[in-house]
Amino acid sequence: MLPQRLSRVLRQILALTTWLAFGAAAASPAFAAGAARPGAHSPATQPAMKFVRYHGYRFAVPRSWPVIRLSRSPDTCVRFDLHAVYLGTPGANQNCPSWLVGTTEALLIAPGAPSAQRSSVEDPVARQIVTSAPGIRVTATFDTSPGLVGSILASARLSAPQVETSAPAIAAGSAAGAGTGEAVSARHEKAGPGVVFGHASPELPSVVANDVGLGFDACATPSAAYMRAWRLHSPYRAVGIYIGGSDRACDQQNLTPAWVRAEAAAGWRFVPMYVGPQASFSQLSDPARQAPAAAADAVADAQRLGFGPQTPLYYDMEAYPAGETGPALGFLSAWTNALHRLGYRSGVYSSSESGIADLAQVYRSGRFAMPDAIFDALWNGSKNVGDAVYRRGEWADRRRLHQFSGNVLETFGGDTIDIDQDYLDLALTAAGGTAQAAPGAILDDASTSVFYAGAGHHLWEESKSASGAWSAVNLGGDLTSPPSVVQTGRSDLAVFYRSTTGDLVVRRRSGSRWLPAQALPQMGYVTGPAAVAQPNGVIDVFWAGHYDRHLWHAQFNPGQGWSGPQPLLGSLASPPYPVESRGGLIQVFWEGTDRRLWRVARPIGGGWTAPQSLGMAPMGGPPHAVAQPDGEVDVFWRGAIPRSIWAAFIPAVSRVVGPVNLGGQVSGEPWPVIAAGVERVFFRSENGQLFELQRGRAGNWGAAERVGTIGHLTSAPFAATGASNAPLELFWTGAAARLWSATLTAPGGWRRPVDLGGVVQ
């Protein structure tokens, strides 16, 4: 897109220049007779008409509009910024200029399903009409004359458009996992062996919008083949995509949920952009109303493509004159507020000389909501995120993008695209998420909650406030398994356990309020569940089957509810242990019936792998794992011979290393954790003492050392999960099965252990 201050007249000149070249092809077979440069039609003006036939339908269209048959020119750019009729299926790689913006009255008439039902929907926010009928599908855009498009459709005896607006699948607050849309069976039935319910693909985590390095954006989304060639041969690793908006000028033939998921799995990162009403076109007539409508439409578009909560969505506000500063700032502020209410992050793309300078000027004024990330169009050729309009601290901490060049033709792997060139320095973080299964969690405010089956086999919570005071709450229920807790928002939790009837049960906390327990009988009989969660609220729960010893999976998607059970196969001799790396890769480990270490994995954007044996036999107990910030996953277990700590190290981009004997004499299961900035493994010795292994800065492991301040343990220790720099909260049972806790704060050392009073059943 164009970053300079361009008036609408100048844009029309550019469009006219392109059109003259575009229209010069009128004599070619791609254009029907009578094509000419389009003019604007006012609602009161009825232009001279001609007839166009396609798949048995006859359309009356303005005589001046060119008719382009895409089968004869598959590389033609399907442009909605010029009056035209396009017939056929757009090519996979359209020859589109990168700077196109704006829409007018135009139609794409493509083949449709022979059995398609007659329907026609007008979206006034996107300024688009989509019409289906047997054998045909019409996509039409409009500027000021939707009635003209309606008359063209009526001339072919197609349905009259019904006005509908896109709505996000989730409401404000539900991204935190408050239970909106949960699909719960009303009948308390069991799923026997082989009964499989549907499962949905998870929403992509917001990390797919983080990157540091080169990116590009193109008006029309490239094909999968072009993306593959550019992934192999280009320096780019991020791609800007135009997900929607009333002024999105190019057809998006390739932009589908499957395309997004496949490119995410291939390693691409995304800059999702939305091109709505433009200040430069004097379209901001009511910013306070238009911006929330645009934000809701953008979120609906993002969700359709699979982008989950906390993903930044960038409003494309093209360069505008100084007289539009007030409306533009009001609109962008309302855009940011609306996206935040819907659970998404806000981004703004604009020219350094207009939108970016204006936002930077009012950054600390408090009068306007500031976007979470800024996308600066400054074509200075510098591959960085600097700009003189920024003051110190503005969008610091890796919240900037820079479009440093535009309208560039580049070829990689033999495939050429007209692009704008970008540099990204983005590492937006979101509250919530749990990287390894655990019965305790440390929240962002340093408060801690740990859960256990206590008196009466009820679910008990021991919580520690930020000030350090502990308190206990009986949450009821009837547990027959240890609980597993995940953090789904800044202060939101979800706790999973098995009930006496064998059901999977979830108990949620929204803020400080506990919601009623919810049974999920559709998952069948479960053994002890273990769960992890993404910051966007997607929860994955795993268990070993009751009728078999296979691995089973259920998933919660905000706005979609629960799906599952999904069989992941395998033969388990231990409970499963899931872990999720920062990049979104989930791995689930277990001890197989052959005493080997097994796993399944789901990469970001992909599906589950088949069970894979990693060897490491003979194991002497269940594995536990932890994810490093660089993507490496480390797995630990008690060996059979000798009974020491054994480990396997799984780097993000190389083969598995192991088994490695780390020493020690272990009773029970080892517990790895990254806390207070250090990776440690805790275990109970054979005489009940607490020991730890610690990994040094160089990656080497020291010898096992006793934690001298900790008394006698009657159970294996476990830690609460939290950020890698959070204090370490360790738990165990002592005499009479009473629950104890100790806190390690680097570099202050261990605090005195605390008897929490609860008795673990």
How many CB atoms sit inside 10 A of residue 371's CB? Answer: 24
Instruction: Please identify which residue in the block is written with the tokens 């695209």.
Output: 417
Structure tokens belonging to residue 655: 């083969």
Separation of alpha carbons 177 and 200, rounded Å: 17
Residue environment code for 112-131, b if the CB has 16+ CB neighbours within 10 A, otherwise e: beeeeeeebbbbbbbbbbbb
Residue 188 has pLDDT above 90, yes or no: no
CA neighbor of 304 nearest in space, from 183, 145, 167: 167
Select from 162, 152, 158 the least CA-distant residue to 84. Answer: 152
Question: Looking at 277-286, 410-419, 748-757, which range is the least confident one?
Answer: 748-757
Please give the structure tokens belonging to residue 201. 């693909």
Neighbours of 696 (CB within 10 A): 10
Model confidence at 33, pLDDT cuts 50, 70, 90, reads very low
Q: β-pairing, 666-675 with 657-663?
A: unpaired
Structure tokens at 518: 């919810």
Three-class SS state of 109:
strand
Instruction: Tell me how far CA of residue 491 lies from CA of 177, 372, 482, 531, 719, in angstroms.
Output: 11, 21, 22, 17, 19
- Mean pLDDT on 434-462: 94
Q: For 206-426, CATH number? A: 3.20.20.80
Residue-level pLDDT at 38: 33
| Average predicted confidence (pLDDT) for the chain | 89
Give the rounded percent of residues in the chain with a pLDDT score beyond 90.
77
Q: How far apart are CA 401 and CA 679, in angstroms?
A: 33
Report yes or no: 504 and 496 within 8 Å, Cβ to Cβ. yes
Query: What letter does residue 619 receive in the DSSP assignment?
Result: B
Q: Are strands 690-694 and 705-706 parallel, antiparallel or unpaired?
A: antiparallel
Closest CA to 331 of 388, 301, 293: 293
- Specify the pLDDT at position 362: 98
Q: What is the pLDDT of residue 1?
A: 57
Q: For residues 93-118, give the mean pLDDT.
A: 96
Residue 496 — pLDDT band, cuts 50, 70, 90? very high
pLDDT bin (cut points 50, 70, 90) of residue 557 is confident
Rounded distance between C-alpha atoms, residue 758 and residue 735, angstroms: 12
What's the confidence (pLDDT) of residue 256? 97
- Confidence check: pLDDT of 54 > 60: yes
Residue 170's pLDDT is what?
55
**pLDDT score of 466:** 82
Residue for token digits 């220790």?
717
Neighbouring CB atoms inside 10 A of 87's CB total 22
- All residues at 6 or more sequence positions from 474 whose CB lies less than 8 Å from its CB, including other chains: 454, 455, 456, 458, 459, 460
∠ CA 597-598-602, nearest 5°, is 140
195-219 per-residue burial string, b: 16 or more CB within 10 A, e: under 16 = eebebebbbbbbbbbbbeebbbbbb
Whether 320 and 280 have beta carbons less than 8 Å apart is answered as: yes
What is the average pLDDT across 548-570? 91
- What percentage of the chain reaches a pLDDT higher than 70? 89
Tokens at residue 181, please? 């849309």
pLDDT (tens digit, 9 = 90+) per residue, 625-678?
999 988 899 999 999 988 999 999 999 877 899 999 999 999 999 999 998 889
> Lowest-confidence range among 42-56, 141-155, 196-210, 593-607?
196-210
Contact 346, 209 (CB under 8 A): no
Bridge partners, residue 462, by sequence? 450, 472
**Residue-by-residue DSSP string for 633-680:** EEEEEEBSSS-SEEEEEE-SSS--EEEEEEE--EEEEEEEEEETTEEE
pLDDT digits (tens, 9 = 90+) for 284-319: 999 999 999 999 999 999 999 999 889 999 999 999
Q: Given pLDDT bands bounded at 50, 70 and 90, which one contains residue 429?
A: confident
Give 654's contacts (C-beta < 8 A, 6+ positions apart). Answer: none
Instruction: Provide the pLDDT for residue 200.
Output: 64
The pair of three-digit structure tokens given for residue 567, joined into one six-digit string: 């069989």
- 230-289 per-position pLDDT tens digit: 999 999 999 999 999 999 999 999 999 999 999 999 999 999 999 999 999 999 999 999
d(CA 684, CA 714): 9
What is the phi/psi pair of residue 431, to 5°?
Answer: -70, 150
> If you search the block for the tokens 């280009």, which residue do you land on?
234
- What do you get for the CA distance between the two ends of the chain, in Å? 63
The residue among 470, 531, 526, 468 whose CA lies nearest residue 498 is 526
Model confidence at 39: pLDDT above 80: no
pLDDT at 16: 37
Question: What φ, ψ does residue 680 adopt, rounded to 5°?
Answer: -135, 155
Long-range contacts of 161-164 (CB under 8 A, 24+ apart): 161/120, 161/121, 161/122, 161/129, 161/131, 162/119, 162/120, 162/121, 162/122, 163/121, 163/122, 163/123, 163/124, 164/121, 164/122, 164/123
Q: What's the pLDDT at 307?
A: 94
Average pLDDT (27-49) is: 44
In the structure, what pLDDT confidence band is assigned to residue 562 with cuts at 50, 70 and 90?
very high
pTM for the predicted model, two decimal places: 0.87
Q: What is the pLDDT of residue 430?
A: 82
Tell me the β-bridge partners of 377. 351, 403
Rama region for 298: left / alpha / beta (φ>0; ψ in -120 to 50; rest)? alpha
Per-residue confidence band for 453, with pLDDT thresholds at 50, 70 and 90: very high
pLDDT of residue 753: 92
Residue 34 confidence (pLDDT) above 70:
no
Q: Higher pLDDT residue, 273 or 604? A: 273
d(CA 598, CA 585): 16
Report helix angle 257-265 to 224-233, nearest 10.
20
Distances in Å between the alpha carbon of 150 and those of 155, 172, 580? 9, 35, 50
Bridge partners (DSSP) listed for residue 350: 376
**What dihedral angle (degrees, nearest 10) is formed by the CA atoms of 417, 418, 423, 429?**
-70
- Across 105-171, the runs of DSSP E, i.e. the strands, are 106-111, 119-123, 128-133, 136-141, 162-163
The residue type at 185 = S
Q: pLDDT tier at 166 (50, 70, 90 boundaries)?
A: confident
The domain defined by 432-568 folds into Neuraminidase (2.120.10)
* Look-up of token digits 């969660």: 533
Q: What is the pLDDT of residue 110?
A: 98
Q: Are 165 and 476 in contact (CB under 8 A)?
A: no
DSSP 355: I
